Amino acid sequence: MSKINKKAFVLGALGLAAAAAAVTFLPMERATAQDPNNDPPQVWDAFGGNQQAQKYSTATQITPDNVRNLKKAWEMHTGDVSSGAHSTSWGATPLFVNDTVYVGTPMYNIFALEPDSGKVKWKYSASGNDKLENQGLKNRGVAYWAAASPAAGEACQKMVYIGNMQGELHGVDAETGKACAGFGKNGVVDVNAWLTTNAKWKIGLIQPPAVYKDTLILGWAGNDWVYKVENPGTVYGIDARTGALKWTFNILPPDMVNQTGTANVWAGISVDPESGLAFLPTSSPSPNYYGGDRLKEMPYATATVAVNAETGEVKWARQLVHHDIWDVDINSAPTMVDIKKDGQTIPALIQATKMGFLFVFNRLTGEPVYPIEERPYPASDIKGEVATKTQPYVPVPEPTIPDTTPPVSKLGDFLSFGECSRWKARIRDEGRYTPPSTRGSISWPATLGGVEWGGGALDPTTNTYVVNSNMVPQIYTLIPREEANKLYGNALRARGGYAAQQGSAYGFKLDNFLNMWGMPCWAPPYGTLSSYDMNTGKLNWKKPLGVVQKWGFYMPDSWGSITIGAPAITKGGLIFIGASMDSRVRAIDLKTGNVLWKQIVDSPAVAQPAIYTYKGKQYVVFAVGGNGILTPRLADQVVAFALPN
Amino acid sequence: MAQKHSTRGAWLIVLASLIAIVICVYDYYSPATGLIGTGGVILVAGAAVLMLLASLVMALMPNRANWIQTFLVVSILLDIIGSSVAGYFLESPVIMAAEALALVGWLMNVIGDAADRSVEIDDVED
């Protein structure tokens, strides 16, 4: 009996009030010889592994045959972790470039580390003058730029950049860790200064900028859900040397900025180095769950927008959710792929979305490589709201999640005396794009996805694309303003998932679809990992990923886990991924999807690892920081794995 | 009415309880276990403390009422079963091994007690 079935069996036995105990003997596998070849030098110089967001390493030393021998090579702790009211959220991917590992922390420090020992070369602090507790403590790493023709003997010919939640972008000499005086004002660019319209809050620079030649392309994160009119989404092109503003791309139409806001780019941006196009995944406009005041078409919102990386001029745009009233932001950097189809090579990109769709476009023209259908979806019953009659649907590649909400969990329902099924019967559930309502509507998938902000990884030698995806319904309820004021007063946010959407006709409440014991009311799996052949659009395999851990107890493998983070692929035929609730990192066979190795780390590793070869040895390095959405377990660990000598 | 009961196996249960407690403390404070700060570990630790107390009574009070012996035997068995299941879902082989050790002690005690009673009955019949 497989381990999965054993665990399921035990659960069933408990349900029948019987108890069983069993001991699992892990199979001892034959150790295989280490591949003696040395991998060619390769950098991991961007959040997505490269600017094309492929998350691919040419390293071949670690293979499916020897990965079981993988051991911790080094680890270090940054000290930058905080729980409670000011908890950290750390989804950084370390960079490996310039013979150094660079990692940004949620307290806005940059650590430069020795690649083979983790020893600190230097540390830079970008926390600024404001007390840290006044900031959200979030970070997804750093960006790196190097001058094409470096001036001999001058500083800052190679720079590392980190943003903070005060809207400051810091430029630091990659060699010394000193602020670059010629970048902005003494090494700091105040991006807030460029955003004066409806500036309701200071923008947060969580995601590092993309880099193209001497231009940084920078989006920002905001404070969703609280106002009807918020900071309008902008993307900036910035001179990598001086910090000067080169261009601004305004995502919202000018005549709509006093009706709405955001639609910003808070996720990663990818760049095609050949065409010089930058691809911007844009988010939904405010207020996120009621669109009655913003019915006019905004083609760049919840879209993928291709702009000239050096001018910001729009080349093409594709809206992937019309009139978004579900907050299903386009949330990951699209991945470049050269698709071999019908005897032709198509320069394409894959845009994974929270809706679980994989949109595949010709990256030069925006034309779909695999057809997009406009399918009808239900109408809103909210006064003033007009949900669009159709939404884009991609049948191929197969969506990562089904079209209908998962059934009620029998176990969750039984143990809550029918609470789950009673709740489900009360609310509106018509599958995808069920509009928010005052009685409560299922959001399927919810704001957690589908695919989260890590996106997928691509093996460009076979065009195998691997992506993790969540299966999480939530319940969205609109609360008429008068009632919201009675219940919550002027609060912008309140306990129980309330957000004001102040200025609009409705407040909003988000409920997790959990029973009285905190158990999911919907049937598993909760998270999957899928592999696709992008040349044909066919699904290779799809398997539950990770394990749900509650109060320390691990649930059956077949349930999978909600995941935040992304996979990385190696030429050696492996997928490395953390992301899951059970604080484990895994190596998975790229061909079969079988887990070949796993290791407990200090918390969920909510970003893809960096993979590099240094002095003949392949390293897989995770920044392990956690995210309160998954579990309260947070950490400050940077840990590298390698084969023993 | 107090009666002499077997103490065989009781010290083994004491040992198993102590192992479980130590492992739980380690699991609760060590990030490497994946169980740091978790309620499941506290649950098993609490059960191990109760089993320790029960087994100490078993070991140190051979003259005990039959109902106390029955209570100890039943509660220790339930403790072992519950902790084993918890150990399984905590994916902690050491907790499960400790519970297996406790089960051996429990069997020694139950069988020993039955054998002692059998001898007493034989004595009467002789």
- Count of the separate structural domains present in chain B: 1
pLDDT over 50 at A281, yes or no = yes
Between A138 and B3, the higher pLDDT residue: A138
A20 interfacial to chain B (CB closer than 8 Å) = yes
Give the nearest chain B residue to A549 (CA atoms): B90
Look up residue A192 and give its DSSP letter: G
Give the nearest chain B residue to A601 (CA atoms): B32
Do the chains contact at B40 and A552, CB–CB below 8 Å?
Answer: yes
Do the chains contact at A552 and B31, CB–CB below 8 Å?
Answer: no
Instruction: Determine contact, residues B102/B16, Cβ cutoff 8 Å.
Output: yes
pLDDT over 90 at A227, yes or no = yes
Nearest to A552 among B31, B82, B90 (CB): B90
Say how many C-beta atoms besides its own lie within 10 A of residue A461's C-beta: 10
Nearest to B88 among A22, A551, A584 (CB): A22
Please determine, looking at this structure, whether the domain spanning A3-642 carries the CATH number 3.50.50.60.
no
Supply A115's token pair: 């690649």
Give the nearest chain A residue to B29 (CA atoms): A602
**Cα-based torsion angle of the residue sequence B53, B58, B59, B60 in order, rounded to the nearest 10 degrees:** 80
- For chain A, the domains span 3-642
List Cβ neighbours of A436 (8 Å cut-off, separation of 6 or more): A289, A290, A325, A326, A380, A382, A443, A476, A477, A478, A508
Do the chains contact at A553 and B93, CB–CB below 8 Å?
Answer: no
**Cα-based torsion angle of the residue sequence B83, B84, B85, B88 in order, rounded to the nearest 10 degrees:** 120
pLDDT, mean of residues B62-91: 95
For residue A221, the Cα-to-chain-centroid distance in whole angstroms is 13
Do the chains contact at A549 and B34, CB–CB below 8 Å?
Answer: yes
pLDDT by residue (tens digit) across A42-83? 899 999 999 999 999 999 999 999 999 999 999 999 999 998
A27 interfacial to chain B (CB closer than 8 Å) = no
Distances (CA, A) of A344 to A339, A459, A535: 8, 19, 10
pLDDT by residue (tens digit) across A315-356? 999 999 999 999 999 999 999 999 999 899 999 999 999 999
Backbone angles phi, psi at A276, to 5 degrees: 70, 25
Say how many C-beta atoms besides its own lie within 10 A of residue A556's C-beta: 21
- Domain span at B19: 2-125
Do the chains contact at B88 and A551, CB–CB below 8 Å?
Answer: no
**Residue A596 distance to chain B (closest CA, Å):** 18
pLDDT over 90 at A570, yes or no = yes
Distance between CA atoms of A469 and A399, rounded to whole angstroms? 10
Q: Give contacts of A636 with chain B, Cβ < 8 Å.
A: none
Do the chains contact at B33 and A600, CB–CB below 8 Å?
Answer: yes
Supply A294's token pair: 């913003």
pLDDT over 80 at A301, yes or no = yes
pLDDT over 50 at A584, yes or no = yes
Q: Give contacts of A23 with chain B, Cβ < 8 Å.
A: 93, 96-97, 100
Residue type at B30 in one-letter notation: S
Do the chains contact at B93 and A24, CB–CB below 8 Å?
Answer: yes
pLDDT over 60 at A597, yes or no = yes
**Residue B38 distance to chain A (closest CA, Å):** 5
Q: Give contacts of A14 with chain B, Cβ < 8 Å.
A: 85
Nearest to B96 among A23, A602, A633 (CB): A23
Look up residue A542 and give its DSSP letter: E
pLDDT over 80 at A22, yes or no = no
List Cβ neighbours of A486 (8 Å cut-off, separation of 6 or more): none
CA angle A178, A160, A154 (to 5 degrees): 55
The predicted complex's ipTM stands at 0.90
List Cβ neighbours of B2 (8 Å cut-off, separation of 6 or more): B63, B64, B65
Concatenating the DSSP letter of every residue in B59-107 gives: HH--EEEHHHHHHHHHHHHHHHHHHHHHHHHTT-HHHHHHHHHHHHHHH
List Cβ neighbours of A367 (8 Å cut-off, separation of 6 or more): A361
pLDDT over 70 at A23, yes or no = no
Q: What is the model's pLDDT at position A604? A: 96
Residue with tokens 């790196």: A144
Question: By three-state DSSP, how is residue A163 classified?
Answer: strand
Residue type at A365 in one-letter notation: T
Nearest to A635 among B31, B40, B89 (CB): B31
Look up residue B110 and give its DSSP letter: H
Q: Give contacts of B89 with chain A, Cβ < 8 Å.
A: 7, 10, 553-555
Do the chains contact at B89 and A21, CB–CB below 8 Å?
Answer: no
Nearest to A551 among B27, B40, B97 (CB): B40
Do the chains contact at A582 and B34, CB–CB below 8 Å?
Answer: yes
Q: Give contacts of B20 with chain A, Cβ < 8 Å.
A: none
Q: What is the model's pLDDT at position A24? A: 31
Q: Give contacts of B27 with chain A, Cβ < 8 Å.
A: 552
Number of H helices, E strands in chain A: 4, 43
Q: What is the model's pLDDT at position B63? A: 87
Residue with tokens 């995770």: A622
Do the chains contact at B43 and A584, CB–CB below 8 Å?
Answer: no
Distance between CA atoms of A624 and A321, rounded to whole angstroms? 33
Give the nearest chain A residue to B84 (CA atoms): A21
A151 interfacial to chain B (CB closer than 8 Å) = no
Q: Give contacts of A555 with chain B, Cβ < 8 Å.
A: 89
pLDDT by residue (tens digit) across A472-524? 999 999 999 999 999 999 999 999 999 999 999 999 999 999 999 999 999 99
Look up residue A429 and give its DSSP letter: -
Do the chains contact at A553 and B34, CB–CB below 8 Å?
Answer: no
Q: What is the model's pLDDT at position A39? A: 61
Do the chains contact at A551 and B97, CB–CB below 8 Å?
Answer: no
Q: What is the model's pLDDT at position B7? A: 86
Q: What is the model's pLDDT at position A564? A: 96
Distance between CA atoms of B71 and B65, rounded to whole angstroms? 10
Nearest to B91 among A554, A602, A637 (CB): A554
Do the chains contact at A19 and B38, CB–CB below 8 Å?
Answer: no
Q: pLDDT-based confidence at A236, cuts 50/70/90?
A: very high
A586 interfacial to chain B (CB closer than 8 Å) = no
Say how many C-beta atoms besides its own lie within 10 A of residue A177's C-beta: 18
pLDDT, mean of residues A298-304: 98
Q: Give contacts of B97 with chain A, Cβ < 8 Å.
A: 23
